[in-house]
Structure 1
């Protein structure tokens, strides 16, 4: 091996070692966080989080919610999925669910078409390339022949999330996952003003506070049941399904998690994510 190859090998080894250390530190911090008294109650959803295809621990939390309340028609709608390999419904798709993805980015849709071709061809997944606005969302969902009760709605569009959820009428999801701005700590009830064509600019001016979403959810018949470890997504369940399955009270103060966006470095494993399709045996 010549000198340049030796240097390249050493640098690659250092990079792999550093990446492994990041994963170890993330898992150590996660375990230490869950060891705190606040998280001791088994009803606390954060205890059940894990990542398969979600950005953080949402896959595990969604699985636990449906373990408690059951499923209906195993149908989802998610918008803001980017390339599809890191979103809240890819795991459900490979488990046999069906649904609709909406993504504005043309390159993202091209990647989805390539990566998820078997699911698109067998009709389990529908894809719409479109900007999502409060004015367009019901038409977009209806155009995919989706309506009425569905099991899951997931919203992550980095700006107008509050206003789009408020506008949705064509479906009645049993569970809603929606991004919140954890920089706006309870009891602040704030959202960005509605601007149909606006998107996040990388600043902390985006989305809505958890309290604003809790109030909106309550007006639509939903109760907040938890947030994820990174302080990115809040989980709502339709009030008629909650029973005594979740931590009370259903308030922003009880369920708020602070911003821990460094969990974006969390990996499900050493390999790049690929949805298969797998074969159930």
Structure 2
């Protein structure tokens, strides 16, 4: 273990001991991009699971994503959506041995997301939704109000610090080109989550993803609803 890895491990143990209801003490990277694996493991340890069904889009080849651990080692089923054909081809190969995971090549917009869910047989209530499309994340989540995942992980724009309210103007043909004017500020995401019936419980320490728990299961989690100012992490890359 490197010195940096050891330092991170010690920091997590200290966080867990001092703040047992802070999600950052549970960060662990196994197959996720950052510490999402550990955070999700702890959230579902506390609230339990129902159908163990997930949806994640913007997964590229699926090697490193928020649901890879759940499908490969925990027996979850679900739907992965990727819009880039060349990345989808590799995704399809990578998950060929997992028939319980549907793969769909589609460019996600707010106009088509509900139809994509319906076509794929996504249940109205399921355990986990992960949104990472580097642009219209806010608008797509807003369009999914008929669906009620218990936990939502969504990319926010850490360049826009709380309490700033900012949302990327909707562009159905948007493709990320490296510009950081994407998604929405954490304050705006938190407002949307509240409108849809979700509470912000934290962000992972690299400042990429925010975690929301549905209000009716929040008490079971033991995690308090947090303000954007309290939960915010700056972009760590």
Q: Where does 1:97-176 land on structure 2 (aligned, <5 Å)?
A: 97-119=76-98, 122=99, 124-176=100-152
8 Å CA contact retained: 1:225, 1:246: no
Cα distance in 1 for residues equivalent to 2:117 and 2:154: 17
**Residue of 189, 192, 196 corresponding to 1:220:** 196
Give the structure with the larger helix fraction: 1
Cα distance in 2 for residues equivalent to 1:207 and 1:29: 31
8 Å CA contact retained: 2:16, 2:25: no
State the shift of 1:195 in Å: 0.4
1:259 aligned partner:
235
**Residue of 53, 72, 75 corresponding to 1:96:** 75
2:156 aligned partner:
180
Q: What's the Cα RMSD here?
A: 1.9
TM-score (norm 1): 0.79
1:70 aligns with 2:9: no
State the shift of 1:34 in Å: 4.3
Cα distance in 2 for residues equivalent to 1:32 and 1:201: 36
Q: Where does 1:23-102 land on structure 2 (aligned, <5 Å)?
A: 24=2, 26-28=4-6, 30-31=8-9, 34=12, 40-94=18-72, 95-102=74-81
Name structure 1 gaps, 5 residues minimum. Answer: 1-22, 262-281
- Give 1 or 2 for the bigger CA radius of gyration: 1
State the shift of 1:146 in Å: 1.0
Name structure 2 gaps, 5 residues minimum. Answer: none
TM-score (norm 2): 0.93
SS in 1 for 2:149: strand
2:167 aligned partner:
191
Q: 1:222 to 1:109 in 2, by over 3 A?
A: same
8 Å CA contact retained: 2:127, 2:150: yes
1:230 aligned partner:
206
State the shift of 1:200 in Å: 2.0
Cα distance in 1 for residues equivalent to 2:229 and 2:6: 26
SS in 2 for 1:99: strand
Dislocated runs of 4+, deviation >4 Å: 31-39
The number of equivalent residue pairs is 236
1:201 aligned partner:
177
